[in-house]
Structure 1
Amino acid sequence: MSGKLSKPNLSHPQVSALVHRLYGWTPAIVRPLPSYDDQNFYVAPVDGGEFILKVMNSTDSENTALLEVQTHAMSFLCHNGLPTQTAMPTTTGQLMSLEELDCGLGSQKYLVRLLTYLSGITISKVPASTQLLYEVGKTAARMDQILQEMDHPHLHVLERDKFIWSLSSIPLLEPYLFVMDGDPIQEVVRAVLQQYKTHIVPQRSAFRKCINHGDFNDLNVLVEAEESLGYRISGILDFGDMNSGFYVHELAIAIMYMMIEHPEPVEVGGPVLAGWESLIPLNKPEKDALYLLVLCRVCQSLILARHTVLKHPENEKYLMITAKAGVRILRQLWELGREEVERMWFQSAARFDGK
């Protein structure tokens, strides 16, 4: 939440020159893509192929060890059968390059990677059938299972103490509650944060640890049409929030974000949970925490989006995509209450047995 973060703002000529210098290619097409803290471009070289150029913000660019692990994780998942991007080597064989660039704020260092392009559209743009939601849960679980097998000399950097987007960091949101001032939903958010301390923290020792993607959201999951199933998952994007966490965190995050565009948000939980439990059945403390962890992720998203808008008002439309639906979803889940939501989710999930 530091004010030092500098989001890159490269021009098209700068991007073309960068791609040519680092990779030896001349871009025929350069097109900006939405982003939160970084800058992303679709790049199609003259000689063919499609890629995504990712320019990290100045703050994250300082943590090269973390970015090495994230880049390695993408490759590791790809080699184990999941549809993830991989980094292209520069002409000197590097998978990422720290570049000194001037985006109008003076010369700063930004870490640059050219990633393979994955076809498909975001899952936010298609009707989410129960079968597709089941596949979302199963894919998220499979991803975490594979990440547990990964080794890397810098794996320790995923112990991201006080990482604001981790579900272990919910108490760190309290100083930022002021961004909700004047919104009636603030009292619900405050109550959720308090319940995290009284109900989740004492149970955490029983949660099973793993490496989390940390942002398995409806804009980071790509799908393609498939005749028999309707849609299949064709891509998992953005590993920037990877952290050492817990299996139940990944599940809660996936459930929450699959609600955003769904006409009946509460009904999402059952099929996602069923897909997850087809590979990783929850233990009792994890089951007991799931409802509240989903609420916590909604609150996290609301607070951090509004705080970021204060710093980057020009990016408000993208930053508030999730937050606008989040208020409605939070109110609905809160008013239904834990007992009723859990009953709906776990009864619905049970009907998927044997899939």
Structure 2
Amino acid sequence: MAAKHTKPNFSQSQALDMVKRLFGLTASEVRSLPSYDDQNFYVVEIEGGEYVLKITNSEDSKKPNMIEVQTYAMSFLNQNGLRAQAALPTTTGQLMSLEEMDCGYGSQKYMVRLLTYLPGTTISKAPLTPQLMYDAGKMAARMDTILQKMQHPHLSMLRRDNFLWSLSNVPMMESYLYVLEGNPIQEVVKSVIHQFKTSVIPKLSGFRTCINHGDLNDHNVLVQCDESDGFRVSAILDFGDMNCGCYIYELAILTVYMMIENPKPIEAGGAVLAGWESVLPLNEAERDCLYVLVLSRFCQSVVLAHHFVTLHPENTDNLLISSRKGIPILHQLWELGKERVETLWFSSAAQLSDKK
């Protein structure tokens, strides 16, 4: 979200028209879904099929090759046993269509896709038991190991060197610290950036690289009830933040979002870690940096959310959801310190693993 008015703002009638014109489907119901910087509509086709009409923001729509890779990644995961949405072809057989339209900000180009609607509820609405967080950690590690095998002619598009949400780019936050002026959290953020520079950057060469989903937040992980009346992770949504990163980044990001929705946030890290390590045990450098990387992602969430509010004040509530919940947890993590948090995470992860 680099500039004002990049987020699409189409009406339901415009969405209905796109579904009919591009995909040849007649919708009996269309309603808006919450979104960060794209626009999503839930669509029920007249014969009962359920879909999501995804209209990409005008900035990202300038990178069709990137969107092509993201769409292919979903298909690749489906082929390898992890559920993700699938794109439906247009009437001309394309998986996406670049549309030049006016949704209130003058004529701009938007990439439009129709994706399958997956049943289930977001993990944000499920009781976050240790088993479910273990399941989420396991799913994330499986996903990254599958994505690492993916081949595509435009894979190089995922080398997003200046991508603000990449955990490699934590020092870039310094340019945006002014948005927290007067907020006590600013000092914590400054300290975390310093910790990143002194304790993470020297160990970067020890991290194993991979392709990251990059945004495993609590609204992008779907769950369904299982036989024992518990919940199981059933699917992954929204690949718009995919980038070349490191395995440990994915774990840190997922840990942050599992903590945000958790009644016992600090303890959540152990269950996610145990699930992750059941697939992909951490090496020494990764273990040593997990705490600072989790803090760093909390800081990114806070700083960038406040930055985007200055660009999109009309979307303030949606932009600050995670940030508002995250600030008290960030304070708590920082005050507890690396040693105490790591002891808690690694010992509870070991106990959970012993029970498996």
TM-score range, shorter chain: over 0.9
Aligned partner letter, 1:250: E
Q: Which runs of 4+ in 1 moved over 3 A?
A: none
* CA contact 2:167–2:296 (8 Å) conserved in 1: yes
* CA contact 2:271–2:349 (8 Å) conserved in 1: yes
Q: Deviations over 1:235-269 (max 9, x none)?
A: 21110000000000000001010011111101101
Q: Note if 1:292 corresponds to 2:323.
A: no
Shift of 1:5: 5.7
Give the Cα–Cα distance (whole angstroms) in 1 for the partners of residues 309 and 220 of structure 2: 21
Shift of 1:318: 1.3
Give the unaligned 5+ runs of structure 1.
Answer: none
The answer for the alignment partner of 1:270 in structure 2 is: 270
The answer for the alignment partner of 1:282 in structure 2 is: 282
The answer for the alignment partner of 1:78 in structure 2 is: 78
Give the Cα–Cα distance (whole angstroms) in 1 for the partners of residues 238 and 55 of structure 2: 12
Q: Deviations over 1:263-304 (max 9, x none)?
A: 110110101000000010000010000000000000000011
For structure 1, which segment, 266-275 or 220-229, has the greater mean C-alpha deviation from structure 2 after superposition? 220-229
Shift of 1:3: 2.1
Give the Cα–Cα distance (whole angstroms) in 2 for the partners of residues 242 and 183 of structure 1: 31
Give the Cα–Cα distance (whole angstroms) in 2 for the partners of residues 91 and 2 of structure 1: 32
* CA contact 2:4–2:311 (8 Å) conserved in 1: no
Give the Cα–Cα distance (whole angstroms) in 2 for the partners of residues 327 and 285 of structure 1: 27
SS at match of 1:353: helix
Give the Cα–Cα distance (whole angstroms) in 1 for the partners of residues 237 and 192 of structure 2: 29
* CA contact 2:71–2:86 (8 Å) conserved in 1: yes
For structure 1, which segment, 60-69 or 310-319, has the greater mean C-alpha deviation from structure 2 after superposition? 310-319
Give the Cα–Cα distance (whole angstroms) in 1 for the partners of residues 273 and 310 of structure 2: 35
The answer for the alignment partner of 2:211 in structure 1 is: 211
Aligned partner letter, 1:71: T
* CA contact 2:5–2:105 (8 Å) conserved in 1: no
Q: Note if 1:59 corresponds to 2:71.
A: no
1:53–1:166: structure 2 CA closer, same or farther, 3 Å change rule?
Answer: same
TM-score by length of 1: 0.98
SS at match of 1:95: coil
Identity %: 61
Give the Cα–Cα distance (whole angstroms) in 2 for the partners of residues 127 and 181 of structure 1: 36
Q: Pairwise mapping of residues 95-244 of structure 1 onto structure 2 (< 5 A)?
A: 95-228=95-228, 230-244=230-244
Shift of 1:229: 5.8
Give the Cα–Cα distance (whole angstroms) in 1 for the partners of residues 205 and 39 of structure 2: 38
* CA contact 1:4–1:59 (8 Å) conserved in 2: no
Give the Cα–Cα distance (whole angstroms) in 2 for the partners of residues 332 and 4 of structure 1: 34
The answer for the alignment partner of 2:323 in structure 1 is: 323
The answer for the alignment partner of 1:90 in structure 2 is: 90
Q: Deviations over 1:114-154 (max 9, x none)?
A: 00001111111111000000000000000000001110001
Aligned partner letter, 1:38: D
Give the Cα–Cα distance (whole angstroms) in 1 for the partners of residues 78 and 316 of structure 2: 33
* CA contact 1:69–1:155 (8 Å) conserved in 2: yes
The answer for the alignment partner of 1:347 in structure 2 is: 347
Shift of 1:66: 0.6
Q: Deviations over 1:156-202 (max 9, x none)?
A: 11110110010011111111001111111110011001111111111
The answer for the alignment partner of 2:35 in structure 1 is: 35
Give the Cα–Cα distance (whole angstroms) in 2 for the partners of residues 12 and 255 of structure 1: 36
* CA contact 2:138–2:279 (8 Å) conserved in 1: yes
Give the unaligned 5+ runs of structure 2.
Answer: none
Aligned partner letter, 1:253: I
Give the Cα–Cα distance (whole angstroms) in 2 for the partners of residues 92 and 131 of structure 1: 45
Shift of 1:12: 1.0
Shift of 1:227: 3.0
* CA contact 1:252–1:293 (8 Å) conserved in 2: yes
* CA contact 2:4–2:312 (8 Å) conserved in 1: no
Give the Cα–Cα distance (whole angstroms) in 2 for the partners of residues 234 and 139 of structure 1: 9
Give the Cα–Cα distance (whole angstroms) in 2 for the partners of residues 2 and 134 of structure 1: 35
* CA contact 2:220–2:238 (8 Å) conserved in 1: yes
Give the Cα–Cα distance (whole angstroms) in 2 for the partners of residues 266 and 170 of structure 1: 22
* CA contact 1:5–1:59 (8 Å) conserved in 2: no
Give the Cα–Cα distance (whole angstroms) in 2 for the partners of residues 104 and 224 of structure 1: 38
Give the Cα–Cα distance (whole angstroms) in 1 for the partners of residues 320 and 225 of structure 2: 28
SS at match of 1:259: helix
The answer for the alignment partner of 1:23 in structure 2 is: 23
SS at match of 1:187: helix
Give the Cα–Cα distance (whole angstroms) in 2 for the partners of residues 53 and 37 of structure 1: 14
Give the Cα–Cα distance (whole angstroms) in 1 for the partners of residues 238 and 259 of structure 2: 19
Root mean square deviation, CA, Å: 1.0
Shift of 1:317: 1.4
